[in-house]
């Protein structure tokens, strides 16, 4: 697995990904997991970050401990939600530490946002698009999950809007990242998904290619989210876009499509310090 746009790092057996512009911004820790360096076994091997897919709870906790150590994040500061492909974003503070781990997670929440240092926002993936945001001036960060439904709902735009209207961010200051996700070549969808994208305002010819049977399509979720973010005002020079496909690299990244759903979850974590 190689990349020209993101950093693939190793610490012992642990392999993880970071984003150059977020690193350069300063004042924020962040990390995106791979499958390497955890303690889970079977279909979850090795680094699974989900408590809800049948893995041994103690293994998941140890996986978070290892991943957070690499990012200099305190595991006690983690906040998780139960993602349901919505555009719902929840404001969280230090009072929410442990949510989704030691206390019940938020339901129907696909985005987390905070203006407090020391609050580590977590979202999970196995092909969908990770979206990370940080305003180093207003000191606000957010972490949003965008599958095809979230992309139709313009989760990225919703997150930017909340940062600007709810926290006074200047969109020109927001640094963002689109993480590893399934690529267009691997992501075949059916007619209902195509129809759902017709009313989004996203130029269909730039993100969808019709297959010869006329009933199936190849969808570029990564490009769709790039279009959404730049239309929302994110400057291209403030945006990292991962060039890594989860499906093509299913030996190194969990992929729902590649495994037929027999898999663990990746995680994106971001925390201001």
Q: Are 157 and 230 in contact (CB under 8 A)?
A: no
Residue 70 lies in a domain: yes
Nearest to 135 by CA among 163, 187, 174: 174
Look at residue 241 and tell me if it is in a domain.
yes
In a domain, 107, yes or no: yes
175 located within any domain: yes
**pLDDT over threshold 90, residue 214:** no
Q: Given a cut of 90, is residue 247 above it in pLDDT?
A: yes
Q: Does residue 248 surpass a pLDDT of 90?
A: yes
- Model confidence, pTM: 0.98
Give the C-alpha distances (Å, rounded to integers) separating 12 from 9, 68, 147, 226, 270.
10, 14, 32, 33, 22
Q: What is the domain range of residue 130?
A: 7-183+237-272
Average pLDDT (8-18) is: 98
- pLDDT per residue as tens digits for the range 145-189: 999 999 999 999 999 999 999 999 999 999 999 999 999 999 999
Assign 49 a pLDDT band (cuts: 50, 70, 90).
very high
| Most distant CA atoms of the chain, gap in Å | 53
Q: Structural domain tally of the chain?
A: 1
CA distance 264 to 229: 28
In a domain? residue 166: yes
Q: Rounded distance, CA 56 to CA 233, Å? A: 42
The verdict on residue 192 lying in a domain is: no
Residue 207 lies in a domain: no
Name the E strands within 180-255. 188-190, 208-210, 216-219, 239-241
The model's confidence at residue 79, banded by pLDDT at 50, 70 and 90, is: very high
The CATH number of the domain where 137 resides is what?
3.60.140.10
Overall average pLDDT of the 8-22 stretch:
98
Backbone angles phi, psi at 162, to 5 degrees: -65, -40
Q: Could you give the percent of the chain with pLDDT greater than 90?
A: 99
pLDDT score of 112: 98
Residue 21 lies in a domain: yes
Residue range 64-73: average pLDDT? 98
Q: What is the pLDDT of residues 21-37, one digit of tens each?
A: 999 999 999 999 999 99
Sheet containing strand 216-219, edge to edge, reads 188-190, 216-219, 208-210
Q: pLDDT grade, residue 66 (50/70/90)?
A: very high
Residue with tokens 């060039």: 243
pLDDT of residue 69: 98
What is the chain's mean pLDDT, rounded?
98
Rounded Cα gap, residues 113 and 75, in angstroms: 18
């Amino acid at each position: 697995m190689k990349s020209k746009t993101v950093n693939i790092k190793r610490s012992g057996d642990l392999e993880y990904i970071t984003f150059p512009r977020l690193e350069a911004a300063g004042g924020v820790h962040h990390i995106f997991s791979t499958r390497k360096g955890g303690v889970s076994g079977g279909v979850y091997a090795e680094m699974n970050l989900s408590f809800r897919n049948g893995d041994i709870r103690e293994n998941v906790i140890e996986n978070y401990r290892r991943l957070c150590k690499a990012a200099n994040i305190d595991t006690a500061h983690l906040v998780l939600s139960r993602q349901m492909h919505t555009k719902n974003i929840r404001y969280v503070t230090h009072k929410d530490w442990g949510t989704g781990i030691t206390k019940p997670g938020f339901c129907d929440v696909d985005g987390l946002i905070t203006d407090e240092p020391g609050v580590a926002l977590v979202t999970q993936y196995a092909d969908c698009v990770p979206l990370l945001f940080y305003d180093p001036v207003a000191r606000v960060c957010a972490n949003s999950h965008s599958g095809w439904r979230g992309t139709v709902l313009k989760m990225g735009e919703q997150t930017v809007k909340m940062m600007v209207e709810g926290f006074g961010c200047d969109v020109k200051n927001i640094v963002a990242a689109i993480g590893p996700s399934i690529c267009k070549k691997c992501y075949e969808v059916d007619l209902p998904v195509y129809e759902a994208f017709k009313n989004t305002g996203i130029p269909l010819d730039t993100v969808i290619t019709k297959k010869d049977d006329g009933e199936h399509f190849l969808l570029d979720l990564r490009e769709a989210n790039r279009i959404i973010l730049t239309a929302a005002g994110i400057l291209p020079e403030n945006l990292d876009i991962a060039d890594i496909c989860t499906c093509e690299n299913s030996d190194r990244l969990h992929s729902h499509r590649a495994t037929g759903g027999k898999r663990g979850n990746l995680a994106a974590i971001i925390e201001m310090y």
